């Protein structure tokens, strides 16, 4: 993939005496502090794995790719980078360090983040293969000789690990001229990634002592960390060991859903309670989050909320897993369940930038009221309804999505980062932008190209299946910055285009870097060093769309006799001449076939309304055809041609069920809150109410196991007339169920109903639903975290806020209990 970039220049600014001498130590109270000032440290950033495994195999020019991504780390305000090393790629069978390209790239990466003022936490080993998502490759590394749960007890494995860590810490990085144990860029070392301890706690303590001794034998004085969020029964061994730091992770909504999850997950990140915080020695160890991510979502509201909670618990190192290398981010092949890149997920990346500010602003141990009161804290706001993260301080104004929030002090602003429209920036494109004040009346504008999602990024990936497409378009931009005024010079830094003049604060702009000036000045140029960048640096993918793509999910159901609003995102090499929706009642013989013209609403989004008169029967089937330069392309089958062409056959339609009552039937997601319990599901047969009955058999080993069934609700309608939630249950051995909804607030409202042994429709009045605890599903990792959110603030039930159907068991569930669930509807 070709990318437009200005090469990085030598920036001696970053090799200041302060950075070169500052190291980290852990005091007796378990606080990481700077060696020179004794002040508390706070780190925020990402994991990034390009020197190893899948990313290494997928990228062609590794060092150029590292340069590009590390530049974006700097633009996002990161000061932390963590990597778990694939030891199988840099060791032999007895643990000797191999001087190969993987190690060279790690050395290079460490030197490049150093130039950006970013610190490093190294996890020395993973003890698993290098294949995911492919097959493992034979490398000769010692970890391939032992199972992951054997490396901590097998004498040969332990000897290999001790040899390895000694040589790794003593390794001289040719790009920095320092050994890892001496490099101030490296904050500390974690012994291994997510260890698996099957032996006794005493053996665990012995293993850790041996590894720490090997590390200390090199002369290393940096803190040593160990993972404590796994192997709960070994906790005492961890805290009585000679380590200085402990590591944790947080995946609050599970992993690998296989699709994009929807909903308000803020209740999931309200607390991070550690049940063994009273363990002796707990308060003497530093706390680090080695990995975290709200996986399988494209929302931009979660990162600051999670970071706020981390800081409340005293975490000083916080690194997300994992940032996608820009060269392969279009496909999200590295980690299907994670997706983060400034160019390809601009709103999520801006949320990370705001979260980095949370990490440096919120005090360690600072407490906040419970959700929803904690959605506004300090200068920050997070909103599910707006899908928004916001930082609004006198100097900084960052937002991850459209916002109407006015900056608190426009005249004092020095830096702006955003997406979409705000009171300061009006912009229709779909890329991130950065505005930095260089001096009064002079600003640097960096504008990323447009990112258009063209497929579900969390479905099964493939190296040729693009999930986000990049487009370079010129858009109007209008600024309201007091020191620039309404008329100013717009000078391109990296395109060679002539200057233009903004009128009324408005100008046309393409992706790139610009200097905006109230009066002409030549003191700022592409080579000018500024903070951790040079002004001319710019990294962005090339334009990708070579053919049109229509991204549209039809409503699953719609009310009969009502108009249907249609939204579709359309990406291509340029904008379409027209977009036409046609129902399945088409014939090339008639000029009166029903059709709807979709008009561009904003960006790449097109809208239209299918009138009720065009909708017949119990199903609506339609196509969308893109017209451009005399050619036509019809979707969803994605073929050249149009439905009215005499030689074109429609083979696929978008489909919506038309119903009198809102049918919620269909495949339900089902969960258990117990690791020792699960549900076995199978389709049974057609039953009344035109719905397939699903039989669910519950396998139970934990007497406290509870089971849940959920389904997202189509919200493109009003629910004012709804009086009842109806559930058809042909057969069950359960004694009772809780039936109700989760709302856009993330609150659960339910009613307990007694089960009958015979076929029955349960008709639950929505007026009788009561506020309940919300089960945090999918279950979070680590597994010791709370499984329920119990509201401390009452919010009255509002039928128009329903978002998810929620059914759960209430009483003790016997092993092999079963329930058949058929049609579910509102009336």
pLDDT tens for each residue of 478-495: 999 999 999 999 999 988
**What CA dihedral angle connects 524, 525, 526 and 532, to 10 degrees?**
-30
Quick one: how far is CA 481 from the chain centroid? Answer: 32
Does the 32-261+285-366 domain belong in CATH 3.20.20.80?
Answer: yes
User: pLDDT per residue over 30-48, tens digit each?
Assistant: 999 999 999 999 999 999 9
Higher pLDDT, 562 or 490: 490
Q: Say if residues 138 and 129 touch (Cβ distance below 8 Å).
A: no
- The mean per-residue pLDDT over the stretch 411-416 comes to 98
Inform me whether the pLDDT recorded for 150 exceeds 80. yes
The whole-number pLDDT of residue 715 equals 81
User: pLDDT per residue over 351-375, tens digit each?
Assistant: 999 999 999 999 999 999 999 999 9
Three-class SS state of 205: helix
Inform me whether the pLDDT recorded for 13 exceeds 50. no
- CA dist 175 → 12, 546, 708 (Å): 14, 40, 54
At residue 1 the predicted structure's pLDDT band, cuts being 50, 70 and 90, is very low
What residue ranges in 6-99 does DSSP mark as E strands? 24-26, 32-34, 43-47, 80-84
Domain ranges across the chain: 32-261+285-366, 389-541, 549-659, 663-826
User: pLDDT per residue over 88-100, tens digit each?
Assistant: 999 999 999 999 9
Residue 250, judged by CB atoms within 10 A of its CB (0-12, 13-18, 19+), counts as buried
At residue 664 the predicted structure's pLDDT band, cuts being 50, 70 and 90, is low
Inform me whether the pLDDT recorded for 555 exceeds 90. no
Inform me whether the pLDDT recorded for 21 exceeds 90. no
At residue 142 the predicted structure's pLDDT band, cuts being 50, 70 and 90, is very high
Bridge partner residues of 383 (DSSP): 388
User: pLDDT per residue over 714-753, tens digit each?
Assistant: 887 788 889 999 999 988 999 999 999 999 999 999 999 9
The whole-number pLDDT of residue 803 equals 95
At residue 558 the predicted structure's pLDDT band, cuts being 50, 70 and 90, is confident
Does the 549-659 domain belong in CATH 2.30.30.30?
Answer: no
The whole-number pLDDT of residue 661 equals 64
- The mean per-residue pLDDT over the stretch 569-594 comes to 84
Q: What is the 3-state secondary structure (H, E, C) of 477-506?
A: EEECCCCCCCCEEEEECCCCCCCEEEECCE
The CATH H-level (homologous superfamily) assignment of domain 663-826 is Galactose-binding lectin (2.60.120.430)
User: pLDDT per residue over 215-253, tens digit each?
Assistant: 999 999 999 999 999 999 999 999 999 999 999 999 999
At residue 9 the predicted structure's pLDDT band, cuts being 50, 70 and 90, is very low
Length of the chain as a residue count: 827
Model pTM above 0.75: yes
Q: Say if residues 710 and 671 touch (Cβ distance below 8 Å).
A: yes
Inform me whether the pLDDT recorded for 689 exceeds 90. no
**Could you tell me which residues come within 8 angstroms of residue 348 by beta carbon, excluding any fewer than 6 positions away?**
298, 299, 300, 303, 339, 340, 400
Task: Supply the DSSP string of 215-252, one letter for each residue.
Answer: HHTTT--S-EEEE-SS-GGGHHHHHTSS-SEEEEEEBT
Whether 549-659 and 663-826 share one fold: the answer is no
Quick one: how far is CA 630 from the chain centroid? Answer: 40
């Amino acid at each position: 993939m070709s990318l437009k970039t200005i090469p990085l220049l030598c920036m001696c600014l970053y090799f200041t005496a302060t950075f070169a001498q500052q190291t980290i130590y852990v005091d007796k109270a378990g606080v990481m502090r700077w060696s020179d000032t004794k002040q508390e440290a706070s780190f925020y950033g990402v994991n990034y794995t390009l020197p190893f495994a899948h990313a290494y195999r997928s990228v062609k020019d590794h060092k150029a790719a590292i340069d590009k991504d590390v530049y974006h780390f700097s633009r996002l305000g990161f000061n932390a980078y963590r990597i778990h090393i694939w030891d199988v790629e840099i060791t032999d069978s007895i643990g000797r360090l191999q001087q190969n390209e993987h190690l060279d790239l790690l050395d290079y990466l460490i030197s490049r983040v150093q130039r950006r003022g970013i610190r490093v936490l190294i996890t020395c080993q993973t003890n698993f293969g290098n294949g995911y998502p492919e097959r493992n490759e034979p490398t000769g590394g010692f970890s391939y000789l032992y199972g992951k749960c054997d490396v901590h007890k097998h004498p040969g494995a332990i000897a290999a690990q001790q040899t390895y860590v000694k040589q790794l810490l003593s390794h001289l990085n040719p790009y920095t001229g320092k050994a890892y144990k001496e490099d101030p860029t490296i904050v500390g070392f974690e012994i291994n990634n997510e260890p698996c301890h099957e032996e006794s706690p005493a053996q665990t303590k012995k293993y850790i002592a041996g590894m720490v001794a090997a590390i200390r034998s090199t002369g290393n004085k940096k803190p040593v960390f160990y993972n404590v969020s796994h192997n709960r029964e070994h906790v005492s061994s961890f805290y009585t060991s000679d380590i200085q730091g402990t590591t944790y992770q947080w995946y609050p909504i599970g992993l690998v859903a296989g699709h994009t999850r929807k909903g308000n997950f803020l209740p999931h990140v309200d607390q991070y309670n550690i049940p063994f915080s009273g363990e002796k020695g707990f308060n003497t160890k530093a706390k680090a989050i080695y990995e975290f991510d709200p996986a399988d979502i494209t929302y931009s509201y979660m990162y600051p909320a999670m970071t706020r909670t981390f800081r409340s618990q005293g975490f000083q190192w916080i690194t997300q897993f994992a940032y996608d290398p820009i060269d392969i981010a279009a496909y999200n092949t590295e980690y299907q369940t994670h997706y983060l890149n400034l160019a390809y997920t601009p709103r999520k990346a801006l949320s990370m930038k705001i979260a980095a500010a949370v990490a440096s602003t919120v005090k360690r141990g600072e407490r906040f009221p419970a959700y929803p009161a904690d959605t506004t804290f300090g200068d920050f706001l997070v909103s599910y309804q707006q899908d928004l993260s916001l930082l609004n301080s006198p100097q900084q104004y960052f937002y991850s999505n459209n916002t109407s929030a006015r900056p608190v002090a426009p005249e004092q602003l020095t830096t702006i980062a955003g997406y979409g429209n705000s009171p300061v920036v009006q912009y229709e494109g779909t890329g991130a932008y950065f505005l930095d004040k260089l001096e009064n009346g002079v600003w640097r504008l960096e504008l990323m190209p447009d990112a258009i999602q063209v497929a579900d990024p969390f479905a099964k990936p493939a190296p040729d299946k693009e999930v986000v497409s990049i487009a370079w378009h010129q858009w109007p931009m209008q600024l309201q910055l007091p020191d620039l005024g309404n008329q100013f010079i717009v000078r391109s830094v990296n395109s060679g285009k002539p200057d233009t003049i903004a009128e009324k604060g408005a100008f046309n702009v393409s992706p790139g870097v610009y200097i905006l000036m109230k009066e002409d000045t030549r003191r700022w140029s592409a080579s000018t060093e500024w903070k951790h960048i040079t002004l001319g640096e710019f990294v962005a993918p090339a334009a990708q769309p070579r053919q049109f793509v229509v991204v549209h999910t039809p409503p699953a159901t719609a009310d009969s006799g009502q108009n249907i609003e249609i939204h579709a995102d359309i990406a291509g090499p340029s904008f379409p001449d027209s977009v036409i929706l046609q129902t399945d009642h088409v014939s090339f013989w008639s000029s009166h076939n029903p059709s709807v013209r979709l008009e561009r609403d904003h960006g790449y989004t097109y809208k239209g309304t299918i009138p009720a008169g065009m909708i017949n029967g119990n199903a609506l089937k339609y196509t969308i055809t893109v017209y451009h330069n005399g050619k036509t392309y019809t979707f969803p089958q994605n073929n050249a041609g149009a439905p009215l062409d005499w030689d074109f056959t429609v083979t696929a339609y978008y489909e919506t069920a038309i119903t009198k009552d809102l049918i919620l039937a269909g495949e339900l997601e089902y969960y258990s809150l117990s690791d020792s319990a699960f549900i076995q599901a199978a389709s049974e047969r057609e039953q009344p109410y035109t719905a397939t009955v699903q039989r669910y058999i519950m396998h139970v080993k934990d007497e406290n196991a509870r089971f849940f069934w959920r389904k997202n609700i189509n919200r493109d309608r009003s629910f004012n007339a709804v009086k009842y939630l109806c559930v058809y249950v042909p057969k069950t051995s359960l004694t009772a169920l809780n039936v109700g909804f989760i709302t856009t607030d993330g609150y659960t409202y339910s009613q307990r109903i007694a089960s009958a042994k015979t076929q029955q429709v349960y008709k639950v009045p929505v007026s009788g639903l009561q506020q309940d605890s919300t089960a945090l599903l999918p279950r979070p990792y680590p597994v010791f975290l709370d499984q329920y959110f119990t509201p401390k603030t009452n919010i009255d039930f509002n039928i128009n806020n329903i978002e998810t159907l929620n059914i759960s068991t209430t009483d003790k569930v016997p092993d092999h209990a079963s329930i058949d669930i058929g049609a579910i509807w509102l009336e």
